[in-house]
Amino acid sequence: MPSSAWFKHRLPGIALVALLCVLPWRLTPLAAQTAEGTFTEAQSLAGQAVYQQSCAACHLATLGGAGEAPPLAGDKFAQSWSDRTTADLFTLVKNGMPLGKPGSLSDAAYAQLVAFILQANGAKPGAAPLKPDTKVAMKTVITGVTPPGLLVRKPAAAPADGGGRRVVQPPTGVTLARKIEHYTPVTDAMLARPPAGDWLMHLHDYGGTSFSSLNQITVANAKQLQLKWVWAMDESGRQQFNPLVHDGVMFVSNNLTNVVQALDAKTGDLLWENRLGPTLSFSANASRTMGLYGNLVIYPSSDAKLYALDARTGKTVWRTVVTELNGLIGGLNVINGKVLIGLTRCDERPVKEHCYIAAYDVNTGKQLWKFTTVALKGQPGGDSWNNLPDNQRSGGDAWIAGTYDPTLNLAYWGIGQAKPHTRDARGSGTGATDYTNSTVALDADTGKLKWYHNLAPGETLDLDEVFERVLVDYDGHKAYFTVGKTGILWKGDRQNGKYLGHAETVFQNVYTKIDPKTGDVTYRPDILEQEQWLSSCPSAEGGHNWQAMSHYAPADLLIIPLSQSCSLWGSGEKVFPMPGTGGKMGRLSAYEGKTLKPIWSFQQSASFLTSVVTTAGGLAFVGDFDRNFWVINAQTGERLWKARLGTTAQGFPVTFMVDGKQFVAVPTGTEGGSPVKKPTMLVENRTIFRPHSGQAVYVFALPDE
């Protein structure tokens, strides 16, 4: 029998052996832990077809994720799902997807989808099919490594019912062709100084003020507003459009079907209709903007084509294919005979086509210039990407229309965030990733960069600074204002981009310091440490999003729709109410432009999902998630009147005048990105209930005398 001394001598070795017996469970690569048989090969193949039809538009064919859609394969996915089960994944997918239509697929289709995601993460098929209640620890089946060839295999035919969606092909082309007589061509002079009764462009004017000089509807009589007409729009899709009005004609567009219509703005009668098509089952983008010039209506279709239609008949005058790659058309405006558009959704790496802002001849559709929105090697800011090859510099979406200063001949655009969203995923290190999150000032004739100012260098939480640039002049100096997702109202000099000031409009925990002299931001330390789950207030919904502010000129007030939610952000997003708000998601606040002083503010349960329009009648118009269309006293913030609509007020209200009578119009819509997803998660079916149909445009006016 060995002696105790022997034991004492051997103890370290015994301990080491014992340790090695335990350690393999910790050190063996995940690949070695996989179990088989959670789903069948046939399920995965069918799931691949469902995925391509219902998911790939956002999460990409590679499952790599883009924009607000998280990656569904890879290391990050495997890490973040390591402590959950296949049943959790089934529940998450069924409760949340497809976007805007959760639960619309059959349980069998969801199981197929989950099977495909599992296989794309290295899980091996077996003989037993996956069921909704199959509860297997994810870490025992997935590795995060996609089997070679899986994504290029030929998937099974899509389910006959489209995975739960019925696809109907409507007629195409001009289906009603009345000619509008006495239509006055829109001139450069009109665009520079819009006629009081018209709404000729996105956000009303080149300065993006969303302020109208109409003053028939006032603080005193707003309570008398009544519905004049409603026009139903095609259902589904991210309906967030901006009606345009000229000469008593309202032009509207339907996002998913690409149907453009002209309506009598006084009566709501249809004047012409062009069903351009195609009819899509889903789009990751919203067409928010159109343009008017001469006798043309410029329409960016949701399949990345630019159309010029005859505003009098609806007939197509020219058509240009903007891109045949994955990009889509974001913002649009018309300047000096050029159609400026921004390209968005250019997410995949290696990059085949960078996002850009481009100008097209308004009479021919020919491209005149192009400005790439990420700084490439050798360009100003090109050294801010941690030496990444140009084809790894992704993002910089130009999805919000820019504004324009005719005296400086400069176009001002906000640029979206770098992709992938996090620094470590994109490999950009501590680089600023110019020109993402920047204001860029471009020569409108040539597209040459005059200056840029990066408001969120090296951003890493999907909190981009892309939204409206509102131009306001003060006693000889030219300012621009913008609010990004952090909810910070920035003021800059639009001649040189210099920082002029800022105001924090909602709670934010992203920056610990904002330099009052330069505007330089300091990130919270753990954000730069890139921990797996990072707290982000505001959430990716943003304190502010595409719902534009308005500059109420009579009192120099910037009236801003704001949102209050937070998230833990990693591979996916977990949401929670913003501290200090009592769970109220919506806030409307007014700041004095000259001083950036807060003037008034109120909050409510429902997020505001329209832009703000102000008028010389002393009013602000805005709509919310809970179907309310509000009239607010612009000076005081007092709520004066509301109408309850069919569904969520969403898009860009406008006001206009026909035959001496002022009207105000507001669109409704049901789907969207994070500004819709966050209230859907936090308040819908808890305190707020709304129909998921009812897209339309509602038009109000005072009673007829």
Could you list the residues that contact another protein (CB under 8 A)? 84, 88-89, 91-93, 95-97, 102, 504, 506-509, 512, 524, 526, 535, 537, 566-568, 572-580, 582-584, 597-605, 636-639, 681-682, 686-687
Question: Nearer Cβ to another protein, position 62 or 601?
Answer: 601
Question: Nearer Cβ to another protein, position 372 or 535?
Answer: 535
> Smallest distance, Å, CB 238 to another protein?
19
Question: Nearer Cβ to another protein, position 164 or 598?
Answer: 598
Tokens representing 126? 């077996």
Question: Nearer Cβ to another protein, position 180 or 682?
Answer: 682
Question: Nearer Cβ to another protein, position 515 or 526?
Answer: 526
Query: Whole-angstrom Cα distance, residue 369 to residue 341?
Result: 11
Tokens representing 691? 């129909």
Count other C-beta atoms under 10 Å from residue 332's C-beta: 24
> Smallest distance, Å, CB 589 to another protein?
8
Question: Nearer Cβ to another protein, position 139 or 315?
Answer: 139
Count other C-beta atoms under 10 Å from residue 33's C-beta: 14
List CB contacts of 157: < 8 A, sequence separation 6 or more: 49
Give, for 529, the enclosing helix (H) or strand (E): helix 525-529
Tokens representing 622? 């805005």
> Smallest distance, Å, CB 701 to another protein?
25
Give, for 483, the enclosing helix (H) or strand (E): strand 477-483
Tokens representing 17? 């052996």
Question: Nearer Cβ to another protein, position 126 or 637?
Answer: 637
Question: Nearer Cβ to another protein, position 476 or 525?
Answer: 525
Q: Specify whether the CB–CB gap between 304 and 284 falls below 8 A.
A: no
Q: Specify whether the CB–CB gap between 115 and 8 falls below 8 A.
A: no
> Smallest distance, Å, CB 603 to another protein?
7
Question: Nearer Cβ to another protein, position 318 or 600?
Answer: 600
> Smallest distance, Å, CB 605 to another protein?
6
Query: Whole-angstrom Cα distance, residue 118 to residue 73?
Result: 8
> Smallest distance, Å, CB 553 to another protein?
21
Query: Whole-angstrom Cα distance, residue 387 to residue 324?
Result: 29
> Smallest distance, Å, CB 586 to another protein?
9
List CB contacts of 276: < 8 A, sequence separation 6 or more: 172, 258, 259, 260, 299, 301, 307, 316
In angstroms, the Cα distances linking 243 to 176, 385, 588, 666 are: 19, 39, 23, 9
Sheet of 296-300: strand order equals 291-293, 296-300, 305-310, 316-321
> Smallest distance, Å, CB 102 to another protein?
7
> Smallest distance, Å, CB 133 to another protein?
14
List CB contacts of 517: < 8 A, sequence separation 6 or more: 499
